Amino acid sequence: MAERTKAQTLAWLRTLSGELATTTLKRLDETLPWYREMPPGRRSAVGLVAQAGITSFISWYDDP
């Protein structure tokens, strides 16, 4: 398998970021009872934090 270039990896990460956030929140819901018990507004806030973290990582990867 050929190695990806940084540009290819960056494009892949950007394409995958929404799915990664969704998977992260699903995993939280499946494994943490306290997360499941949170009101919807707080769960939404956690989702925003997760998405911000993923976006920040991608930005850092692009320009460390």
pLDDT digits (tens, 9 = 90+) for 12-64: 999 999 999 999 999 999 999 999 999 999 999 999 999 999 999 999 999 99
Cα Rg of the chain (Å, integer): 14
Is 55 within 8 Å of 17 (Cβ atoms)?
A: yes
What residue segments make up the domains of the chain, in order of their start? Answer: 14-62
Task: Give the pLDDT confidence score for residue 23 in this predicted structure.
Answer: 96
Strands (DSSP E) found in 1-64: none
Taking CA atoms, 12 is separated from 9, 54, 61, 62, in Å, by: 5, 13, 12, 12
Q: What is the dihedral of CA 34, 35, 37, 40, to 10 degrees?
A: 160
**pLDDT reported for residue 5:** 96
